[in-house]
Amino acid sequence: STQRLEDKLVLITGASGGIGAVPAILFAKAGANLVLLARRQDKLTSVALAAQAAHKAAGQTKGGKVVTVVLDVSDREGVNALRGKIPSELVGRWISLVTVNNAGFVLGVDKIGDIKDDDMEAMFETNVYGLIRMTQAFLKEFKSRNSGHIINIGSVAGREAYAGGAIYCATKAAVRSFSFSLLKEVVDTNVRVSEIQPGLVETEFSIVRFRGDKGAADKVYEGLEPLTGKDVAEEIVWVASRPAHVNVAELFVMPVNQA
Protein backbone atom coordinates (compact mmCIF):
# COMPACT_ATOMS: atom_id res chain seq x y z
CA SER A 1 0.00 0.00 0.00
CA THR A 2 1.18 3.50 -0.69
CA GLN A 3 1.28 6.47 1.65
CA ARG A 4 -1.62 8.71 0.74
CA LEU A 5 -0.82 12.29 -0.17
CA GLU A 6 -4.34 13.61 0.40
CA ASP A 7 -4.48 16.58 2.77
CA LYS A 8 -0.74 16.51 3.28
CA LEU A 9 1.03 19.82 3.11
CA VAL A 10 3.88 19.91 0.64
CA LEU A 11 6.46 22.70 0.65
CA ILE A 12 8.55 23.11 -2.49
CA THR A 13 11.47 25.50 -2.89
CA GLY A 14 12.35 26.59 -6.42
CA ALA A 15 8.74 25.91 -7.39
CA SER A 16 8.49 28.75 -9.93
CA GLY A 17 9.89 26.80 -12.88
CA GLY A 18 12.07 23.93 -14.04
CA ILE A 19 11.87 20.72 -12.07
CA GLY A 20 10.14 22.25 -9.02
CA ALA A 21 7.04 23.44 -10.88
CA VAL A 22 6.10 19.92 -11.95
CA PRO A 23 5.76 18.14 -8.59
CA ALA A 24 3.50 21.04 -7.60
CA ILE A 25 1.05 19.90 -10.28
CA LEU A 26 1.40 16.20 -9.47
CA PHE A 27 0.99 16.68 -5.70
CA ALA A 28 -2.10 18.85 -6.29
CA LYS A 29 -3.59 16.10 -8.48
CA ALA A 30 -2.97 13.65 -5.67
CA GLY A 31 -4.95 15.84 -3.25
CA ALA A 32 -2.14 17.55 -1.37
CA ASN A 33 -2.02 21.18 -0.23
CA LEU A 34 0.95 23.23 -1.32
CA VAL A 35 3.23 26.02 -0.23
CA LEU A 36 5.20 27.11 -3.29
CA LEU A 37 8.42 29.05 -2.74
CA ALA A 38 10.79 30.92 -5.07
CA ARG A 39 12.00 34.45 -5.74
CA ARG A 40 9.69 35.32 -8.69
CA GLN A 41 6.10 35.93 -7.65
CA ASP A 42 4.67 36.09 -11.21
CA LYS A 43 6.01 32.64 -12.06
CA LEU A 44 4.87 31.25 -8.71
CA THR A 45 1.37 32.54 -9.41
CA SER A 46 1.24 30.76 -12.79
CA VAL A 47 2.37 27.50 -11.21
CA ALA A 48 -0.20 27.90 -8.42
CA LEU A 49 -3.00 28.44 -10.96
CA ALA A 50 -1.86 25.41 -12.98
CA ALA A 51 -1.75 23.29 -9.82
CA GLN A 52 -5.28 24.35 -8.83
CA ALA A 53 -6.54 23.62 -12.35
CA ALA A 54 -4.91 20.17 -12.28
CA HIS A 55 -6.48 19.49 -8.89
CA LYS A 56 -9.89 20.41 -10.21
CA ALA A 57 -9.49 18.48 -13.48
CA ALA A 58 -8.52 15.38 -11.50
CA GLY A 59 -11.83 15.66 -9.64
CA GLN A 60 -9.98 15.73 -6.33
CA THR A 61 -12.09 16.53 -3.31
CA LYS A 62 -9.20 16.61 -0.82
CA GLY A 63 -6.48 19.25 -0.62
CA GLY A 64 -5.86 21.62 -3.49
CA LYS A 65 -5.10 24.67 -1.34
CA VAL A 66 -2.10 26.43 -2.81
CA VAL A 67 -0.20 29.26 -1.16
CA THR A 68 2.74 31.08 -2.71
CA VAL A 69 5.42 32.81 -0.67
CA VAL A 70 8.28 34.78 -2.21
CA LEU A 71 11.38 33.35 -0.62
CA ASP A 72 15.04 33.46 -1.45
CA VAL A 73 16.35 30.43 0.41
CA SER A 74 19.69 32.17 0.85
CA ASP A 75 17.93 34.84 2.95
CA ARG A 76 18.24 33.60 6.51
CA GLU A 77 15.57 35.94 7.94
CA GLY A 78 13.19 35.00 5.14
CA VAL A 79 13.57 31.30 5.89
CA ASN A 80 13.13 31.90 9.63
CA ALA A 81 9.93 33.88 9.00
CA LEU A 82 8.46 31.26 6.65
CA ARG A 83 6.83 29.04 9.25
CA GLY A 84 4.75 32.01 10.46
CA LYS A 85 3.53 32.70 6.93
CA ILE A 86 1.88 29.33 6.43
CA PRO A 87 -1.85 29.96 6.99
CA SER A 88 -3.07 28.33 10.20
CA GLU A 89 -5.87 26.75 8.17
CA LEU A 90 -3.24 24.73 6.32
CA VAL A 91 -1.25 23.99 9.43
CA GLY A 92 -4.44 22.66 10.99
CA ARG A 93 -4.73 20.24 8.10
CA TRP A 94 -1.11 19.42 8.47
CA ILE A 95 -1.33 15.69 8.92
CA SER A 96 2.14 15.29 7.60
CA LEU A 97 4.48 17.57 5.79
CA VAL A 98 6.74 16.94 2.85
CA THR A 99 9.53 19.43 2.13
CA VAL A 100 11.14 19.33 -1.28
CA ASN A 101 14.42 21.23 -1.14
CA ASN A 102 14.85 21.87 -4.84
CA ALA A 103 16.15 25.46 -5.27
CA GLY A 104 19.62 25.36 -6.73
CA PHE A 105 21.81 26.37 -9.64
CA VAL A 106 25.26 26.35 -11.17
CA LEU A 107 26.78 29.57 -12.42
CA GLY A 108 29.54 29.33 -15.00
CA VAL A 109 31.95 26.69 -16.21
CA ASP A 110 35.13 28.13 -14.73
CA LYS A 111 38.57 26.79 -13.96
CA ILE A 112 39.18 26.78 -10.22
CA GLY A 113 41.67 29.66 -10.43
CA ASP A 114 39.10 31.80 -12.25
CA ILE A 115 36.10 31.22 -10.00
CA LYS A 116 34.80 34.49 -8.59
CA ASP A 117 34.14 34.71 -4.88
CA ASP A 118 30.62 36.06 -5.47
CA ASP A 119 29.66 33.11 -7.71
CA MET A 120 31.15 30.61 -5.29
CA GLU A 121 29.32 32.11 -2.34
CA ALA A 122 26.02 32.40 -4.21
CA MET A 123 26.07 28.70 -5.12
CA PHE A 124 26.86 27.64 -1.56
CA GLU A 125 24.31 30.07 -0.10
CA THR A 126 21.43 28.62 -2.14
CA ASN A 127 22.40 25.01 -2.80
CA VAL A 128 23.83 24.24 0.64
CA TYR A 129 23.07 26.82 3.33
CA GLY A 130 19.57 27.49 1.99
CA LEU A 131 18.78 23.78 2.00
CA ILE A 132 20.19 23.38 5.51
CA ARG A 133 18.29 26.39 6.88
CA MET A 134 15.04 25.19 5.31
CA THR A 135 15.60 21.88 7.06
CA GLN A 136 16.32 23.60 10.38
CA ALA A 137 13.15 25.68 10.05
CA PHE A 138 10.99 22.54 10.24
CA LEU A 139 13.06 19.77 11.80
CA LYS A 140 12.11 20.37 15.43
CA GLU A 141 8.42 20.28 14.54
CA PHE A 142 8.87 17.17 12.39
CA LYS A 143 10.59 15.41 15.28
CA SER A 144 7.98 16.42 17.82
CA ARG A 145 5.13 15.36 15.50
CA ASN A 146 7.07 12.21 14.70
CA SER A 147 6.27 12.62 11.01
CA GLY A 148 7.38 14.48 7.94
CA HIS A 149 9.52 13.88 4.92
CA ILE A 150 12.44 15.93 3.68
CA ILE A 151 13.28 15.33 0.03
CA ASN A 152 16.52 16.95 -1.07
CA ILE A 153 17.42 17.41 -4.71
CA GLY A 154 21.05 16.53 -5.19
CA SER A 155 22.64 15.69 -8.52
CA VAL A 156 24.86 13.24 -10.33
CA ALA A 157 27.37 16.09 -9.77
CA GLY A 158 27.36 15.19 -6.07
CA ARG A 159 28.56 11.69 -6.91
CA GLU A 160 30.89 12.34 -9.85
CA ALA A 161 32.96 15.45 -10.47
CA TYR A 162 33.42 17.22 -13.79
CA ALA A 163 36.01 19.79 -14.86
CA GLY A 164 34.62 23.30 -14.72
CA GLY A 165 32.08 22.33 -12.09
CA ALA A 166 34.19 22.30 -8.95
CA ILE A 167 31.93 24.49 -6.83
CA TYR A 168 28.64 23.04 -8.05
CA CYS A 169 29.93 19.48 -7.56
CA ALA A 170 31.11 20.44 -4.07
CA THR A 171 27.68 21.90 -3.22
CA LYS A 172 25.88 18.77 -4.38
CA ALA A 173 28.34 16.48 -2.58
CA ALA A 174 27.52 18.56 0.50
CA VAL A 175 23.78 18.01 -0.08
CA ARG A 176 24.39 14.27 -0.27
CA SER A 177 26.52 14.18 2.84
CA PHE A 178 24.11 16.44 4.77
CA SER A 179 21.15 14.25 3.76
CA PHE A 180 22.86 11.13 5.11
CA SER A 181 23.76 12.86 8.40
CA LEU A 182 20.20 14.09 8.74
CA LEU A 183 18.90 10.59 8.14
CA LYS A 184 21.06 9.28 10.99
CA GLU A 185 19.83 12.05 13.26
CA VAL A 186 16.15 11.21 12.77
CA VAL A 187 16.59 7.45 12.82
CA ASP A 188 14.72 7.10 16.13
CA THR A 189 11.69 8.94 14.69
CA ASN A 190 9.31 8.30 11.79
CA VAL A 191 10.71 11.29 9.88
CA ARG A 192 11.97 10.32 6.44
CA VAL A 193 14.87 11.82 4.49
CA SER A 194 15.46 11.19 0.81
CA GLU A 195 17.91 12.54 -1.69
CA ILE A 196 17.23 12.41 -5.42
CA GLN A 197 20.20 12.69 -7.75
CA PRO A 198 19.18 13.39 -11.34
CA GLY A 199 21.43 13.45 -14.37
CA LEU A 200 20.79 16.07 -17.08
CA VAL A 201 17.31 17.56 -16.99
CA GLU A 202 16.23 20.00 -19.69
CA THR A 203 15.28 23.21 -17.83
CA GLU A 204 16.52 26.80 -17.49
CA PHE A 205 19.32 25.32 -15.40
CA SER A 206 21.62 24.94 -18.41
CA ILE A 207 20.99 28.55 -19.49
CA VAL A 208 21.88 29.83 -16.02
CA ARG A 209 24.99 27.64 -16.05
CA PHE A 210 26.19 29.15 -19.34
CA ARG A 211 25.24 32.66 -18.21
CA GLY A 212 22.48 33.07 -20.82
CA ASP A 213 24.31 31.54 -23.80
CA LYS A 214 21.49 29.39 -25.24
CA GLY A 215 23.73 27.78 -27.91
CA ALA A 216 26.20 26.51 -25.30
CA ALA A 217 23.32 25.52 -23.03
CA ASP A 218 21.67 23.34 -25.70
CA LYS A 219 24.98 21.68 -26.68
CA VAL A 220 25.00 19.87 -23.34
CA TYR A 221 22.10 17.70 -24.50
CA GLU A 222 23.70 16.59 -27.79
CA GLY A 223 23.65 12.85 -28.34
CA LEU A 224 21.14 12.05 -25.62
CA GLU A 225 17.57 12.62 -24.61
CA PRO A 226 17.69 14.54 -21.32
CA LEU A 227 15.32 13.86 -18.45
CA THR A 228 12.30 16.16 -18.26
CA GLY A 229 11.02 17.97 -15.20
CA LYS A 230 8.18 15.46 -15.27
CA ASP A 231 10.58 12.52 -15.03
CA VAL A 232 12.09 13.93 -11.85
CA ALA A 233 8.75 15.10 -10.46
CA GLU A 234 7.37 11.58 -10.80
CA GLU A 235 10.33 10.31 -8.79
CA ILE A 236 9.68 12.91 -6.11
CA VAL A 237 6.02 11.91 -5.83
CA TRP A 238 6.93 8.21 -5.88
CA VAL A 239 9.43 8.70 -3.05
CA ALA A 240 6.86 10.69 -1.03
CA SER A 241 4.15 8.09 -1.52
CA ARG A 242 6.07 4.97 -0.38
CA PRO A 243 4.45 3.23 2.59
CA ALA A 244 5.22 5.01 5.87
CA HIS A 245 7.80 2.39 6.92
CA VAL A 246 9.79 2.74 3.68
CA ASN A 247 12.43 5.43 3.28
CA VAL A 248 14.12 5.80 -0.11
CA ALA A 249 17.43 7.16 1.15
CA GLU A 250 18.76 7.99 -2.29
CA LEU A 251 17.64 7.70 -5.86
CA PHE A 252 20.11 8.15 -8.71
CA VAL A 253 18.43 8.59 -12.10
CA MET A 254 20.22 9.28 -15.36
CA PRO A 255 19.10 9.74 -18.94
CA VAL A 256 20.02 6.78 -21.11
CA ASN A 257 23.25 7.66 -23.00
CA GLN A 258 24.51 10.23 -20.48
CA ALA A 259 28.16 9.37 -19.79
CB of 218 to ligand NDP, least distance (A): 13
Beta carbon nearer to ligand NDP, 89 or 218: 218
Of the residues 8, 29, 65, 168, only one is catalytic, namely: 168
- The dihedral sign for the CA sequence 125, 107, 15, 227: negative
Q: How far are the Cα atoms of 29, 115, 149, 163, 241 from residue 203, in angstroms, in the given order?
A: 22, 24, 25, 21, 25
CB of 245 to ligand NDP, least distance (A): 28
What is the three-class DSSP state of 55?
helix
* Positions that interact with ligand NDP (CB under 6 A): 13-14, 16-20, 38-40, 43, 71-74, 102-105, 126, 130, 153, 155, 198, 200-201, 203-205, 208
CB of 207 to ligand NDP, least distance (A): 8
Of the residues 172, 184, 219, 221, only one is catalytic, namely: 172
Write b or e for each residue in 230-245: b if 16 or more Cβ atoms lie within 10 A of its Cβ, otherwise e: ebbbebbbebbbbeee
Beta carbon nearer to ligand NDP, 94 or 210: 210
Beta carbon nearer to ligand NDP, 43 or 143: 43
Give the end-to-end CA distance of the chain in Å, rounded to a whole number. 36
CB of 71 to ligand NDP, least distance (A): 6
64: phi then psi, degrees, rounded to nearest 5: 85, 5
129 has catalytic annotation:
no
Please name the helix (run of DSSP H) or strand (run of DSSP E) that holds residue 145, with its range, or none. helix 131-145
What is the three-class DSSP state of 32?
coil
172 has catalytic annotation:
yes
Beta carbon nearer to ligand NDP, 58 or 70: 70
List active site positions.
168, 172
